[in-house]
Every structure is written in C-alpha cells, then in structure tokens.
Chains A and B, each alone.
Chain A
C-alpha cells in the first residue's frame, strides 16, 4: 500500500511540474515571442506596456481557461468511461458536447443571455448536456441492464443531429447572432469575459472534488452496475450524481470554449498506460494531464500559422480522431462490449 501511494504521489508531482512547464512555455510563445527573461522584466515594470497586457489580458486568461477546460473535459471523459465501461466514450463521442452546443446556440438566438445575463449560457449548456446523457443512457438500458453495444453509434448519431440542429439554428438566425455562433462553435480558448473564466475554473475544481467522493464507486462500476450494487454501492444515487457532474463539466466547458472534441478520450487513454485504472489516481492525473494537453494544443494552435491562429478544436480533433480510429481497429471488443 505504501508503495502504491509513493508511486501515485510521484506521478502527481511529475504532472504538476509538466503543467508548470507548459504554462510557462505558453506564456512565452505566440505572435510576439517573449523569452522568460523578458517576461520577468515586463512583470517588474508593471502595468502600462503592451507586453504586459499581452501577458495578463491575453495569454494568462487563455492558460487558466485551458487548465479549467482541459481538466474538466478529461475528467468528464474518465467519469463517463467508468460509468459506461467503455474506453472510447467521452463527452464528444457520446454527443453530450453537441447537446450542450445546441443549448448554447438556442440561448444566443433567443437572446436569453441579454435578458438573464451571461451566466445563462453555461446553464443552457448544462441543460443540453444532461438531456443527451439521459437520452443515451435510457436508450442503452434493456431489462434494467446497461447494454454497451450500440452506445457509441447512438452517441455519434446524436452528435450529427446536434450539428444539424446548430446549422438549422444558424440558418434562421440574425446576422449578428450568426457571427457569435460561428466564432464560438469552432472551439477556441479565447474568452474575453473574466467571469466565465472564473466560473469554468470553479466548476472544474468542484467537479474534481465531487468525483473524488465517488472514486470507490467508480472503481466498483468497472465490474458492472450489478457488481457495484453487491459491493454496497448506492448505484442509482452515484449514477445520478456522476451524470450531473459530467454534464456540468461538459456544459460549462462547451458554453465557454465551444466544441473541443476528444480531450476526454486522448488524455485518459494515455494516462491509464502509466498509472493504471484505479480511479483514486486516475481522476487527478487525468485532470492535470488534460490541462497540460489542452494548454499545449492551444499553444500549437497559436504558433503553427502565426500571426494567424487555428481553432484549438481542430488540433484536438485531428489528434483525437486518429487515436479513436487506431484504438478501435486495435481492439474490436470495445465497440461491441464484452
């Protein structure tokens, strides 16, 4: 047991160091390159210079948002993979991101955020997300037993339906709304609103804390719901709470940053190879690694065709989609269930 704890602590430490490193890297690069020395100088000189505002108004918020959203999405991925017992399940492949996006689009078109404040955006995202989770789950229940077969197919179809719905909404919306939707749907970490950034960070950390209350439940779920029940887990309650947590994480992420796919697939898949599948370490290490991954992808998005930038969703999509196909061709079992 002691050995296990040391092993885990080691990984958390490594990931923390990597996170710090990647955050510093991300501060330095961009359309204006700033080496570390210069950054220190800019900080000491204080407010006023254009470099200062690049650092603290543009790059730092992006890093914080990348931390929150990368963490939240891969945490949501781990939770969903645990509940559905399928390593290919995540907010994007199950259509939950799509559902959240439809919610947010409706909000923009109906002008709810103008009436109810910006906070209504993530709430609509959350509602869209939880609706899809409940739909996917109830479609995959037969005779009280969770059927994993067809689950992914249902999810991908829901994604298609959602993107069609978004197109529908876009085609009937006003020009000014259209700009907002297009800009947001591409998936980017550029968010000028500090309140939303703080909110995303708060929700991500809150989600991590709550999921830790259920780490043994998630471990037990890896044997199946019936087995979890035999081990004294209040299955219905755990499921309800974890679904709400996953929807909160996804809904808030999507409403702030648009659809950034596959983070919840790539990161847990990668991190499991190092730390194993015990949720006590998997949750925190996936969170940290997700943060690292997204900040890294965002830095890439900013430098590949600098001074222009790519939407970060493009990069995660290409990386994650390829991994998805690779995993699928490696073990056919995952799709068909055991």
Chain B
C-alpha cells in the first residue's frame, strides 16, 4: 500500500525528517505519535506530496508519488487536515469539492453521480442534516465530520488524518475515532493518523509509529511502543503505564511534580 523508503525531508535545506522507513499494509490502521515538533505533520506532508523529499521516496502500490498525476494521487489518497478556517460555502458544496479529482477540465457542473456520492458521504458521517448550512455556522466537531465526509467523497483507498480529535470534547473524540474505525473495518479504508493523545492512539490503532527528533524511534503494536521506558525517554516526562481495564490495551497515566515529590520523600 504505502511505503516510505529512506526518506529525508525538510524546509529550505533544514532537515526535519531523516531515515524514515516504514510500510503500511492494505486495510491497516496506523497511528503516528511523537512529541511536538518531532516531525509528525511534516511526515504527513511528505506523504501527500506537499513537500519534496531531499532523499528517498514515498511509494504507493510501488509507484513513486512524485511520478503520479495529481488527480490520480487525489483519487487514491485523501487528507483530513487539522485546523481549518471557516469558508463561506454550504456544507454540501464543501463536500462536493471532494469530487474535483473526478471532474474533467471542461466539465463545469458535477454529475448526478457526484451529487449522489456527496450525499452518501454526508450520511456516512451522519452530517446529512447539516447539508444546507454554511461551513462557518457549524461547530468544531461538526466541521471535523464534514471534513471527513469531503475526504470520503474522493473515494480514496488511503485516508490520512492530522490530529482529527484536536480541540474536541470527549464525546466528539470518541465518535470521530469510532467513525474512522468503522470506515476502516467496513469500507476497508487504510488509515494513517497523526495523534497527540497516547491513550486514544493505544485504544484505536493497530500499529503505532513513534517519531522523535525527526527519526523513527519505534514501530510496533501499542503494547510494544507504549512502555513507560520509551515514553519517559522520548517525552522526558515521568509516566506510569497501566492496562486499560476494559480493552487491556496500554494506558498512560501522568504523574504530577507534586506527587513525584511526595513519593520521593
């Protein structure tokens, strides 16, 4: 599916990422984690062809993405961006933007098929009721869902998400991640997701890629990656890793300075 080979990448000759090498198989659900400024978003931008790698390459089904046509890439990979300034556009029009990769140069109107697909994507993300509203009128959680609907309208095989749960309350966090999980299971979408929250990453992802200072620190199942040793080393923070009593996945518990001092005594 997706393969990164010996990738190095950065801005204006200042390298951010180095020696990045990993593979994502079909229908996998992969989380990318790491501290702020470790290069997670840069990695995503390298996969979506926003940044040209200075070394190595990104392959989709064996094809170098820099040799693919722009439209072909957009039909294969869809991106759900992190932050999003409101636009003056109805929700339906916004989701229809996801059909752009399928429009011909001289086609000025979307076909019935395009409208049908947009409608289906809205109902898949449970946002059909927002159809006529303006993007600037809806809440943060809703706009995140609409962003996912637009990405689905591209009918991708690979879905990339940049912190889809940032700035959302727990209700929306869980409902969005549940939705992505469902898309992964039912539609067979391959998912690669940047996540900040280690516990959400542990709970939802099959495999985690931990990035630190521009290099891959460790990849593996949540159990393999989320050990207290690794986290303390990478995040420079004292933590305790427990087991989630329900799912028995690793659960990271923070320890405050005050508690540490109490225990120290």
Contacts and interface: CB of A to CB of B under 8 A. Distances in A.
B62 interface: no
Interface size class of B (residues with CB under 8 A): 35 or more
Interface stretch (B69-77, B165-173, B234-242): B69-77
Given A226-B81, A280-B108, A232 B97 contact: no
Given A1-B110, A215-B108, A223-B97, A230 B85 contact: no
B174 interface: no
A227 B74 contact: no
B259 interface: no
A230 B48 contact: yes
A219 B97 contact: yes
A278 B97 contact: no
A119 interface: no
A220 B97 contact: yes
Interface in A212-233: 212-213, 215-216, 219-220, 222-223, 226-227, 229-233
Given A143-B11, A278-B93, A230 B74 contact: yes
Contacts of A144: 11, 50-51
A338 B135 CA distance: 15
Interface stretch (B99-107, B137-145, B178-186): B99-107
A232 B89 contact: no
B81 A276 contact: no
Contacts, number: 71
B191 to A, nearest CB: 16
Contact of B70 (A215, A233, A280): A233
Contact of B71 (A212, A223, A232, A277): A232
Interface in B1-50: 11-12, 45, 48-50
Interface in B176-221: none
B74 to A, nearest CB: 3
B130 interface: no
Contacts of A143: 11-12
B27 to A, nearest CB: 22
Contact of B100 (A213, A232, A338): A232
Nearest to A333: B85
Nearest to A338: B85
A226 B50 contact: yes
A222 B87 contact: yes
Contacts of B77: 230
Nearest to B48: A230
A144 B101 CA distance: 23
A181 to B, nearest CB: 41
A172 interface: no
Contact of A216 (B100, B115, B154): B100
Contacts of A229: 48-50, 70
13 contacts: A1-B109, A1-B110, A5-B109, A144-B11, A216-B100, A222-B87, A223-B87, A226-B48, A226-B50, A229-B48, A229-B70, A232-B75, A277-B87
Given A230-B74, A230-B78, A231-B100, 9 more contacts: A215-B108, A220-B100, A223-B87, A227-B79, A229-B48, A231-B74, A232-B70, A232-B73, A280-B109
